[in-house]
A = this chain, B = another copy of it.
Amino acid sequence: MDEVLWAAWMYYEQGQKQEFIADQLGISRASVFNLLQKARDERVVNISIDPTRMSQAVLSNRIKDLYSIDTCYVLPLSTSGDPVHDQIGRLGARVLEQLLRPGDTIGVAWGRTVLAMSQHLQNLNLPNVTIAQVTGSSAATFAFSPPLCTSNIAERLNARCVNLHAPGIVSSPDVKKIFMAEPSIRTHFALLSQCTKLLFGVTPIVGRTLLVEGEFMTEEELQSYRDLGAVGFASGYFYDRAGQIVRTEFDNRHITMPLEELRQVPERICVGGGPGKAESIRAMLRAKLATILVTDDRTAMELVSEGG
């Protein structure tokens, strides 16, 4: 344990060669390499890119102006092995790390990218940070479910984790009302209304979607939104191409942060990108759900080009 630290210090801060360190510690150079590997794995060393730079590129600024958001971070997407949502999660992690302040309360939705992001966060240790689940859980348990996204992020940030102990969807509007009147649920929503930051993904609603596959809703329920012109879903709400929120009776059974309160949150970070998501993201931006966007360069190109 201590050896990892010493090796890391000598290598990364003092710029010593592995061989020198091996001599000092009386072990083989290969072992020094292993110690350094461990140091990286256990995040004893932080190697990270200043995310503000990612928002200074030309593309970022055009998007920022075009959609009147506060900041846009654009990732240079490479043909590496990692899937797109993983790479975006990585940049999202850097962004959150930079934006995080002591005393923050962060509302977290769910999704593949949000989970990926949680996995790439460094272990930070700012005082008095709270991570709160924005949406109730779905019936099925899958890797990127709301409680998992929330608790993963809280763990990495050494923050208080507040899960929402309620289903995401209930059977009738009346049941929702009953739930919402419960003291423990009321407390949770009171906390949510205090959020200083919000974190969510986007999903288009064409073809097979996570919404249906995650047993969050049925194909029929989803279709009813499509019929009303919805093109995407983010932070708990559906919206159409023009950025208008689309509602059906489903909303009355959905236990999630109210739209008015959501829009009050000063910093609302949306992480999302990859092929086929551009249209959905464009509409989401028009709906003013996000103030900060983290995406990839391909999607960013689409966002500025077909100004449709």
Contact = CB atoms under 8 A, between A and B. Distances in A.
A57 B24 contact: no
A5 B43 contact: no
A296 B187 CA distance: 49
A48 to B, nearest CB: 5
Contacts of A44: 49-50, 53
A6 B80 CA distance: 13
B123 A78 contact: no
Contact of A45 (B8, B47, B54, B75): B47
Contact of A50 (B14, B46, B57, B87): B46
Given A5-B57, A52-B125, A78 B47 contact: no
Contact of A46 (B5, B9, B47, B75): B47
Contact of A6 (B5, B76, B90, B102): B76
A13 B52 CA distance: 15
A112 B44 CA distance: 28
A48 B46 contact: yes
Nearest to A98: B125
Contacts of A12: 47-49
A101 interface: yes
B78 A10 contact: yes
Nearest to A25: B76
A118 B78 CA distance: 36
Interface residues of A, number: 38
Contacts of A13: 48-49, 87, 90-91
Given A16-B80, A78-B16, A101-B102, A50 B123 contact: yes
A78 B24 contact: yes
A45 B82 CA distance: 20
A227 interface: no
A76 B10 CA distance: 8
Given A76-B5, A80-B14, A50 B45 contact: yes
Contacts of A47: 12, 45-47
Given A76-B5, A78-B16, A48 B45 contact: yes
